[in-house]
Structure 1
Amino acid sequence: MKAGIGRRLWGAGVALLFSVAATPVWAETCVIDDADREVCLAQPASRIVALSPGATELVFAAGAGDQVVGVVSFSDYPPEAKQRQSVGSHTRLDLETVLSLEPDLLVGWVTGNPHEQLEKLQRLGMSLYLSEPRRFEEVATSLERLATLAGTRERGQVAADEFRAGVGELRERYADASPVRVFYQVWDEPLMTVNDEHLISQAISLCGGKNVFGELPRLVPRIGEEAVLAADPEAIVAGGMGEENRDWLDDWERFEELNAVRRDNLFFVPPSLIQRPTPRLLEGTRILCDHLETARGRH
């Protein structure tokens, strides 16, 4: 009798041992975000809320699109992102909706989200990764770090490697290109541009261009039309109020004294391809490089 009980207990112990061994064990995973903060998760994120359109693109590109449960307005890429629950805009989050989604990871925007709302979410126990790549390489490392937190490392690594390779090809192709003096218009009213710390200016440099306002102290400085006339760029590049809206460029055609106007060097790049720090920045930079190559031919 006792022997039978012993055998049953031994069998139960072996079964329990195999059950434990078959259960995935995740060590705590930590990364450093773009605000130089350590972000740690006990398990891979399974419910992610992205708090900017750029963050949404990065998470999907890192292979974690299936884990995204919430996004902000204008999160229009990839198309699947439009099917996710809206949590307000990046400038005003709907905290009640964010909390109702029970996220285990928020991906915020360093300078784009309201600090007080991010702080409140953290006080409520939310894990927050702050994103704002400022260099091409940081786009690649963002993919790697987000993939690490989401448990999609292989897919994130592939995306990061492809991005690095594409940037390397452009850097080699335009390394000896003659410089083109460029004004990039990021907004119309007030008139705004970018300095050399901005990713857009680094894209200009990658294509062999020179940002005529690159030395200004602010990342996104306000300027006047007079400043553009004084700088007299060889090319003017702009996005617009939409992916196909060239109205901002049309406004410059009245300044016939500008070299960019005389040479017909008024170029459009869809804003989502160059104003978001995501892998699609590579596509936008290729378009920009083609435009600047056209400008070179009109010297």
Structure 2
Amino acid sequence: MTVLIVADHDNATIKASTLNTVTAGKACGGDVHVLVAGHNAGAAAAAAAQIAGVSKVIHADGESLAHGLAENLAEQVLSIAKNYTHILFPATASGKNVAPRVAAKLDVAQISDIIKVVSPDTFERPIYAGNAIATVQSTDPIKVITVRTTGFDAAPATGGSAAIETIAAVPDSGKSRFVGSEIVKSERPELTAAKIVVSGGRALGSKEKFDEIITPLADKLGAAIGASRAAVDAGYAANDMQVGQTGKIVAPQLYVAVGISGAIQHLAGMKDSKVIVAINKDPEAPIFSVADYGLEADLFQAVPELVKAL
């Protein structure tokens, strides 16, 4: 039994989501191999070889893989798929884009968003916005799986000494092309990797108030900023700040929910946080049911006072 982890990387470094996926792969049993497919990605391959628990790194390097286009990356995975019993992807934008293509070409069912490995053929995954956990068993010869990274601890990034095997990159499929990217640079930690997240909800009332209340608290805590879907839909915060079932899934050490009622959609994206603090003036707000600490107060008074105290 051999497990393949398809690494999420930027051609220079391995992203944290890959470390969580390696832990899931180890739970499946057998050897764990990591595929690093990119362009001039030798540094990423070397970093993957250092991950504890990885026995081999497969490095495919070519211009067709430079930008992680799903069509090309899927073909690269398929070129070695027959060697594996399990193929695991982090449940990131990239993983969710590639995994279904691989599963379809292999004519197997994809198992999505697993949070636990029960046995090599049985897995747990959340359904109904996390309100129920389904136990899924697969008899497919190759199991294609996406891993909810918040469900698994990160494997140590150092301590391993895996061999690196180089394979030929697949040719460009010609089905898509990379046009460009606009990357927002911020000194704040990336939302899904942050240890502390401060999120604001619709109760803030406007973008100006969102920035006025949430930003100083996040600055004091060195936190990433998130938002509920209602706040994003109202234009208070950018789309990429949305936390929830249709946004980003986070599990920081500390999650501070300011003016967020706690709809099921939002809870699905943050209830695995280690410590949850809720500030809301409605004592019946569902957010208090998952909060470790709750403050029933007017956020416009409480948060500035908290910032001063910090």
Q: Does the pair score TM above 0.5?
A: no
> As a proportion of its length, which structure holds more helix?
1
> As a proportion of its length, which structure holds more strand?
2
Based on CA coordinates, which of the two structures has the bigger radius of gyration?
Answer: 1
